[in-house]
C-alpha cells in the first residue's frame, strides 16, 4: 500500500528561502512571509483537526435506534423493574374509583360516564362491527348493601392513539424520520361507559361494576396495561449554554453520566424549536434559541431486549437487519415490481402472521374492506394526495394461523407502509386463505 506523506509547510518555506540569493531579501522573506505564512498554515491545520475531531466524536444513530416497540400485560404480570418496556400511561397504574354521586349525575344529565378500559382480544373486523352497531350491554353496580342494574356501552379508547400522534410531532421536531408504529394493541383498547342505572344512595360506596358482554365475554380482559419502550424523563442543561457557530442558537449539553449510553433520546418539548440534536462523546447536545439553562422533557428510547418475557407478543416497527432492508431504508427508492413490494413486506419481522401474495389495481375496493383495514398513520393530515378519487391498490395476504387475532392488524401495518409510497392509490389489504 502506497504511503501518503503529510505536507510539511516549514520545510517548504525553508527550501524556497534558500533559493533567494541576496541575504537581505532572504532575511526579509524569513521574517515576513515565512513567519506569517507558517502561522496561518498552523492555524488552519489546528482548526481543521478540531473540526474533524468534533465530527468524529458525534454519534450517528444507526438503523432502528429509534424503533418503537409495543406490548401488553396485565397487572399480575407487570414488572416494575423492567428496563425495556414501560406503561404508556402512568394513569394505568392508579386504581380508579367511581362514586355513586357521579353515577347519579351522569344518569340525570344523560351524559355517559367513563368507568374503565378493557382489552378486546379479537380481530380488527370484530371490533369494527362491535363499535359500529352501537351495542348496549346490561350489568350490575354492586355496593356494600345491594346491587343495582345498569346499561353500558363501549367506545374506542383514544388515549393511546393520541400518544402515538404526539410522538409523530416529537419525531418531526427532532428532525428524525417517522416510521409507522404498529398500533395493534391501542386499536383493541375499549372504554366502558355507563349509560343508564338505577338510582344509588350517594352515601353508598361502589365496590364492583360487572358488565355482561354476552358473546364477547371471553374476549374481554380487564386491568390490562399497554407498554412501549419509551419513558419520559426530565433533565436540566448541565452547564451554561454555549453559543453555536451560527451565532444565533445555543448548545445545551446534558452530560453523559446522566444518560443511558444504550438508549437514544428525543426532546419531547415540541414548543421549543430544535435546530439540531446529537450525541458527542456520550453527551446529549441540543441546539436551540434558548440562551439560559432549561429543564428538558425527554423521551428515553430503549433498545430491543429479547430476554424479556411478556404475556403478549412484542410488536415493533424496526426493519430486519438485511442488505435489502438497509437499502430500502436509506434510499427510499420507488417500488415498481411485485418482487420489490414483497421485499418491503419482508423487511419487517411479521412473516409468522401473514405472507404477502399478490397486488392488483382495481377501480373500487372490495365490500366491507374498512372492517379489516385501518391506516396506522391516519392522523397524518399534511401528506400530498393526488385528487379525491383514486384507484385501489389491492394487496392480498395469506395468514399463517387463520385464528390469530392480530392478523388483520399486522396486515394493516404492512398496508400502511405501502400507502406511504403510493399516495395516488387507496391501498387496501385482503386476507385470503391459502388453498394450495
Distance between CA atoms of 135 and 211, rounded to whole angstroms?
13
Task: Answer yes or no: is pLDDT of 3 > 60.
Answer: no
Task: Answer yes or no: is pLDDT of 57 > 60.
Answer: no
Of the listed ranges 37-41, 133-137, 208-212, the one predicted with least confidence: 37-41
Percentage of the chain modeled with pLDDT above 90? 58
**What are 274-297's pLDDT values in tens digits?**
998 888 888 999 999 999 999 999
How does residue 47 score in pLDDT terms, banded at 50, 70 and 90?
Answer: confident
**What are 68-119's pLDDT values in tens digits?**
999 999 988 899 899 999 999 988 888 888 899 999 999 999 899 999 999 9
More confident residue, 336 or 272: 272
Residue 383 pLDDT: 59
How does residue 339 score in pLDDT terms, banded at 50, 70 and 90?
Answer: confident
Domain limits, the chain? 20-58, 87-224, 231-301, 319-431
Task: Answer yes or no: is pLDDT of 56 > 60.
Answer: no
Q: What is the mean pLDDT of the chain?
A: 86
Across the range 181-193, mean pLDDT stands at: 96
Task: Answer yes or no: is pLDDT of 421 > 90.
Answer: no
Across the range 340-364, mean pLDDT stands at: 90
Task: Answer yes or no: is pLDDT of 327 > 70.
Answer: no
How does residue 166 score in pLDDT terms, banded at 50, 70 and 90?
Answer: very high
Distance between CA atoms of 376 and 95, rounded to whole angstroms?
30
Residue 324 pLDDT: 47
Q: Residues near 312 by Cβ (< 8 Å), separated by ≥ 6?
A: 71, 72, 73, 185
Distance between CA atoms of 379 and 183, rounded to whole angstroms?
12
β-pair type (113-120, 224-228): unpaired
Task: Answer yes or no: is pLDDT of 244 > 50.
Answer: yes
How does residue 322 score in pLDDT terms, banded at 50, 70 and 90?
Answer: very low
Residue 60 pLDDT: 54
Residue 41 pLDDT: 75
Of the listed ranges 180-194, 258-272, 309-323, 401-415, the one predicted with least confidence: 309-323
Task: Answer yes or no: is pLDDT of 21 > 80.
Answer: no
Residue 42 pLDDT: 76
Task: Answer yes or no: is pLDDT of 325 > 60.
Answer: no
Question: In DSSP terms, which residues pair with 284 in a beta bridge?
Answer: 254, 279
Residue 232 pLDDT: 95
Residue written as grid cell 473540526 = 51
Task: Answer yes or no: is pLDDT of 328 > 80.
Answer: no
More confident residue, 54 or 386: 54
Across the range 377-383, mean pLDDT stands at: 79
More confident residue, 426 or 330: 426
Task: Answer yes or no: is pLDDT of 19 > 80.
Answer: no
Grid coordinates representing 133 are: 352497531
Amino acid at each position: 500500500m502506497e504511503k501518503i506523506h503529510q505536507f510539511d509547510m516549514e520545510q517548504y518555506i525553508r527550501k524556497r528561502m534558500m533559493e533567494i540569493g541576496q541575504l537581505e531579501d532572504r532575511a526579509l522573506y524569513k521574517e515576513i512571509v515565512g513567519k506569517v505564512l507558517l502561522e496561518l498554515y498552523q492555524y488552519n491545520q489546528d482548526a481543521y483537526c478540531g473540526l474533524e475531531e468534533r465530527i468524529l466524536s458525534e454519534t450517528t444513530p444507526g438503523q432502528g435506534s429509534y424503533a418503537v416497540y409495543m406490548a401488553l400485560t396485565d397487572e399480575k404480570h407487570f414488572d416494575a423493574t423492567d428496563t425495556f418496556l414501560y406503561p404508556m400511561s402512568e394513569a394505568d397504574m392508579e386504581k380508579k374509583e367511581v362514586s355513586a354521586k357521579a353515577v347519579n349525575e351522569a344518569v340525570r344529565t344523560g351524559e355517559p360516564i367513563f368507568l374503565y378500559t378493557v382489552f378486546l382480544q379479537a380481530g380488527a373486523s370484530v371490533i369494527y362491527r362491535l363499535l359500529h352497531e352501537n351495542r348496549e350491554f346490561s350489568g350490575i353496580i354492586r355496593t356494600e348493601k345491594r346491587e343495582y342494574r345498569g346499561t353500558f356501552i363501549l367506545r374506542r379508547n383514544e388515549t393511546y392513539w393520541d400518544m402515538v400522534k404526539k410522538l409523530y410531532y416529537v419525531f418531526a421536531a427532532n428532525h428524525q424520520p417517522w416510521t409507522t408504529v404498529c398500533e395493534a394493541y391501542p386499536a383493541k383498547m375499549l372504554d366502558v361507559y355507563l349509560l343508564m342505572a338505577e338510582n344509588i344512595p350517594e352515601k353508598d360506596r361502589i365496590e364492583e361494576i360487572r358488565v355482561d358482554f354476552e358473546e364477547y365475554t371471553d374476549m374481554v380482559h380487564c386491568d390490562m396495561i399497554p407498554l412501549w419502550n419509551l419513558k419520559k424523563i426530565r433533565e436540566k442543561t448541565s452547564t451554561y449554554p454555549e453559543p453555536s457557530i451560527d451565532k444565533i442558537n445555543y448548545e445545551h449539553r446534558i452530560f453523559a453520566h446522566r444518560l443511558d449510553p444504550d438508549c437514544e433520546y428525543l426532546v419531547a418539548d415540541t414548543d421549543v424549536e430544535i435546530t439540531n440534536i446529537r450525541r458527542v462523546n456520550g453527551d446529549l447536545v441540543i441546539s436551540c434559541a434558548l440562551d439560559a439553562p432549561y429543564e428538558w422533557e425527554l423521551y428515553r428510547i430503549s433498545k430491543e431486549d429479547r430476554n424479556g418475557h411478556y404475556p403478549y407478543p412484542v410488536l415493533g416497527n424496526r426493519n430486519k437487519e438485511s442488505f435489502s432492508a438497509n437499502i430500502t431504508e436509506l434510499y427510499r427508492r420507488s417500488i415498481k415490481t411485485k418482487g420489490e413490494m414483497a421485499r418491503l413486506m419482508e423487511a419487517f419481522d411479521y412473516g409468522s402472521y401473514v405472507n404477502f401474495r399478490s397486488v392488483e389495481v382495481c377501480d373500487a375496493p372490495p365490500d366491507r374492506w374498512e372492517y379489516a383495514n385501518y391506516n396506522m398513520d391516519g392522523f397524518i393530515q399534511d401528506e400530498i394526495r393526488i385528487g379525491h378519487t383514486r384507484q385501489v391498490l389491492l394487496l392480498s395476504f395469506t395468514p399463517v394461523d387463520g385464528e390469530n387475532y392480530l392478523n388483520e392488524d399486522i396486515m394493516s401495518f404492512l398496508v400502511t407502509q405501502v400507502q406511504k409510497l403510493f399516495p395516488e392509490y387507496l391501498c387496501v389489504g385482503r386476507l385470503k386463505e391459502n388453498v394450495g
